[in-house]
Each structure stands twice: as C-alpha cells, then as structure tokens.
Structure 1
C-alpha cells in the first residue's frame, strides 16, 4: 500500500489545484484513502484550508518578493555583497518550497522548509547583528527580518504551529 501511496501522492500533486486538499503523499501510506477527506470528515483541517490559506498567501508573497529581490541583487550587484545576496536567494528558494508544500499538503516538506527558514532567520539574524561588516547589504533574514517588519521571524513559528494544529490524529 505504501508504494501505491507514493504513486497517489504524485498524482495528487497534479490534481491538487482542482481537488483542494491534495497530495497526502507525505501523510503516510493511507494517503489515497484519507488524504483528501481529512478535514471534511471531522478531522483536523488540511494545511491549505482555513487560516492555512492565509499562510499560503503570505508565503507566496514572500516567495515572490524574495525571488525578485534576489534576482535583481544577483544579476546587478553580486560583487557588492555575495554572502548577503546568496542568502537572499536561499531565502527565496525556501519560501517557494514552503508555499508549494503548504498548498499541496506535503507536511514533511513543509516542516523541513519552515524549519530551515527558522534556523536561517535565527542564525543570519544573530550573525548580521554580531558582525554587521559581513552583511554590507541587507538580506530578507538579516536583523531577524527587520526590513520586513520581523515577519520572517514570526512566519516560521506560525507555520510550525499550523502544521502542529493540522497534524493527523491516530
């Protein structure tokens, strides 16, 4: 059944846009039977339902903003601050992965992306304050997301809380 679950998870990602909560591939071997019905049958909501939709929208906005910023910085100003601009590109990738993972209900991938995001914002935030010379230009995560109203610091905490709230119960 777990082999079928992986195949169903792959199919679910293709059908995800039309079926709402799709994919359950990361939820386990019984994803085909219960992945899409979860939330509708009295279980916890899916990662992309209810407040999860707002979370997906905020992650999508940050994915777009960080991607645009990183692309511009990497193309035009790489030589000015390669560490900062490389970290902006990493943040963009993390936001894209988190957006897709939340939208498709891929809990494992969402957990990994949000965890990387939290570690990144904490490490880069602390490092950028401890050694400002290493960051001659700001990144999304420098100063714990100060340039973005500290949303990059709060967002992974909200993401982890939502993943915990929507986790399947045995």
Structure 2
C-alpha cells in the first residue's frame, strides 16, 4: 500500500503525518498521533467506542478513512478540556456511576455531547435513541441515561444563572 502525507486539525492543533492511504482515522489517531481515547473495539462501526467528531459531526473513526479527513477538524475527548457542557457530562457520569471500565466512555460522552448541543432538553427516549450506537458491557444503560439527563439539567441551570 502507498504511504501518503496527511494534515488534520486534531483538537485545534494542526497535525501532519505519513500513513498508508487506506489507514483509518482510528489507526492514525492511536498509532501515529498517540491519542488513545478513541478505542479500538469492534472495528466494524457497531460499538461506538471509537466515536470522534469530524467537523462537529460524530463519526466512527474505525470506519472513516484518514484520507477523507484531510484538512478537517477532528475532536477527541481531549479536545473538550474546559468545555462546560463536557465538564457537566463528565461530572454527572461520575456521580451517577455511569463509568466502570471506561472503555466505552469517550465515545458515549462525545455522542451525548453532540445530542445536548442540538437538543439541550432531551427526553429519555431521545437520549436512548441517540446513544443506541454506543455499546456498554459493564455499567448498563440506566446510569448512563441518568448521567446525560442530569448533565443536561445542570448545564441548563448554569446557562440560566449566567443570563441573570
């Protein structure tokens, strides 16, 4: 396979690297750039543990060719440092016991983040539908659901108090 030079904006930082032209975004993030939060789970796009944002849209990094991300914005969980919504999600996941082994957590958090950006007051049904592409084998889904709903409530309260 032919190696190609790529350029990505990863977590707001331009990153250049050489990889096989058929390399997945997951392989590049983990093996070339050392970003290990997206996990290599099923390698079939089913489990969601490799979910990242590409130009603010959730993508399965194991199915996305790195070449298709040339000059695009890629955001992993590390790219949310200091973000109040992500902080609320992480805090509520911890409080609700929505994390056990942590393997699925970054993908679940990114999916939940995107949902709350688009729908700040989701119903339990909407959260379940949105997270249906993220598999958790340890925690079970009720604690994750509770964490997302409580984070949404916390974030809304913070935004309302900022307006006052």
With the length of structure 2 as denominator, give the TM-score of the two structures.
0.31
Q: Which has the higher helix share?
A: 1
Q: Which has the higher strand share?
A: 2
Q: Rg larger in 1 or in 2? A: 1
With the length of structure 1 as denominator, give the TM-score of the two structures.
0.30
